[in-house]
């Protein structure tokens, strides 16, 4: 496994037009940010040795090297979800490669269902912490020597970066929520009872991604900042239907705000 990671990193290192220390996983809600990146090189995942190939509709599946607001960045357009059938090692493979390439800070985004009764559809939530409710931990198995066997997770999302994001949001007059993101395996959305249970457990939002990548980033000592777009409220009180289209539409509407925060954040690190 570690050999494959190093092999892929070496392959990319020989082609990289720049040497970014910042990486972005362009999940749901960051499509617009992708357009703001001045591209120097885009490589389809299918062409990268050992890279899993993205299957979900609407995810382009490209690794981008470029500049955002004058800063060198590496960006994943399209991520790998556990529900698609990838192993946890495949889901987090790109993060391990990023570490080998010198990435120090990771920005992530996702769409999530709000379990906090104070949230509204279209809210932006700065992720303050996470709960791994996926059936597996990506560090399961032999320890890869980028970090300890039993990694600390007391600051999975950098407090310093959260404080910076708060300042940026205030400066731009963008309302942000704060909350805990819980990840399930998916692909089902939650039953009303599950939403209620997750709320009682301390989750403010629930989704199907991000948590594995953030665990691996922490294992590598990469600082993380993440945001969720609250695309639905999951019927914690009264059952409501949640559809993929609705989630996409709600995410679309607040994309520019999230992109603005992320772009400014990239400039500060
Ligand atoms: N649950 C899980 N994943 C999601 C949701 C949700 O309500 N909304 C967007 N992604």
- Lowest mean pLDDT of 143-147, 193-197, 240-244, name the range: 240-244
In degrees and rounded to multiples of 5, residue 49 shows phi and psi of -55, 135
* Residue predicted with more confidence, 58 or 108: 108
Q: Which of 182, 185, 216 is nearest to 201 (CA)?
A: 182
Q: Which of 137, 142, 138 is nearest to 3 (CA)?
A: 142
Report the alpha-carbon distance of residue 47 to residue 68 in Å, rounded. Answer: 24
Contact by Cβ (8 Å): 112, 230? yes
Report the alpha-carbon distance of residue 127 to residue 77 in Å, rounded. Answer: 20
Please count the other Cβ atoms lying within 10 Å of the Cβ belonging to residue 148: 10
> pTM (2 decimals)?
0.94
Indicate whether 171 pLDDT > 60. yes
234 CA distance to ligand 1 middle (Å):
8
Contact by Cβ (8 Å): 67, 73? yes
Structural domain tally of the chain? 1
Domain that holds residue 208: 2-268
50 CA distance to ligand 1 middle (Å):
29
CA-proximal residue: ligand 1, atom 2 (nearest): 207
Indicate whether 31 pLDDT > 90. no
Token pair of 144, please? 């890869």
183 CA distance to ligand 1 middle (Å):
9
Name beta bridge partners: 127.
Answer: 179
User: What residues does ligand 1 touch, defined as CB less than 6 Å away?
Assistant: 111-113, 189-190, 206-208, 231-232, 234, 242, 247
Please tell me the total number of residues recorded for the chain in this structure: 269
DSSP 44-69: EGGGSTT-----STT---EEEEEEET
**Mean pLDDT in residue range 85-109:** 96
**Sign, CA torsion 152/153/159/160:** positive
44 CA distance to ligand 1 middle (Å):
27
Residue 213 sits in a domain whose CATH number is 3.40.50.1580
H helices present in 25-156, as ranges:
31-36, 88-100
| Cα–Cα separations (whole angstroms), residue 152 to 82, 236, 268 | 23, 32, 25
Instruction: Compute the mean pLDDT over every residue in the chain, rounded to the nearest whole number.
Output: 92
CA-proximal residue: ligand 1, atom 9 (nearest): 112
Which band of pLDDT confidence, cut at 50, 70 and 90, is reported for residue 14? very high
Token pair of 158, please? 């950098």
Q: What local confidence, expressed as pLDDT, does residue 71 receive? A: 96
């Amino acid at each position: 496994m570690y050999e494959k990671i190093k092999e892929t990193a070496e392959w990319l290192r020989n082609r990289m037009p720049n040497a970014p220390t910042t990486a972005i996983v362009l999940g749901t809600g960051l499509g617009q940010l992708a357009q703001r990146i001045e591209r120097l090189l885009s490589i389809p995942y299918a062409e990268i040795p050992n890279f899993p190939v993205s299957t979900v509709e609407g995810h382009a599946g490209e690794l981008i090297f470029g500049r955002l607001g004058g800063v060198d960045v590496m960006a994943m357009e399209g991520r790998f979800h556990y529900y698609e059938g990838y192993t946890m090692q495949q889901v987090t493979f790109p993060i391990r490669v990023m570490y080998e390439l010198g990435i120090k800070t990771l920005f992530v985004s996702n769409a999530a269902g709000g379990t906090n009764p104070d949230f509204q559809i279209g809210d932006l939530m700065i992720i303050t912490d996470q709960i791994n409710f996926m059936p597996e931990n990506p560090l399961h198995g032999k320890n890869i020597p980028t970090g300890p066997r039993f990694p600390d997770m007391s600051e999975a999302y950098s407090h310093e970066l959260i404080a910076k994001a708060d300042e940026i949001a205030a400066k731009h007059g963008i309302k942000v929520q704060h909350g805990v993101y819980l990840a399930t395996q998916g692909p089902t959305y939650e039953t009303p009872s599950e939403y209620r249970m997750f709320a009682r457990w301390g989750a403010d939002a629930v989704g199907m991604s991000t948590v594995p990548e953030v665990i691996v980033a922490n294992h590598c000592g990469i600082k993380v900042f993440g945001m969720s777009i609250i695309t639905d409220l999951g019927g914690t009180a009264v059952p409501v239907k949640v559809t993929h289209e609705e989630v996409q539409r709600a995410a679309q509407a607040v994309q520019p705000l999230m992109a603005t925060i992320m772009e400014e954040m990239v400039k500060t690190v």
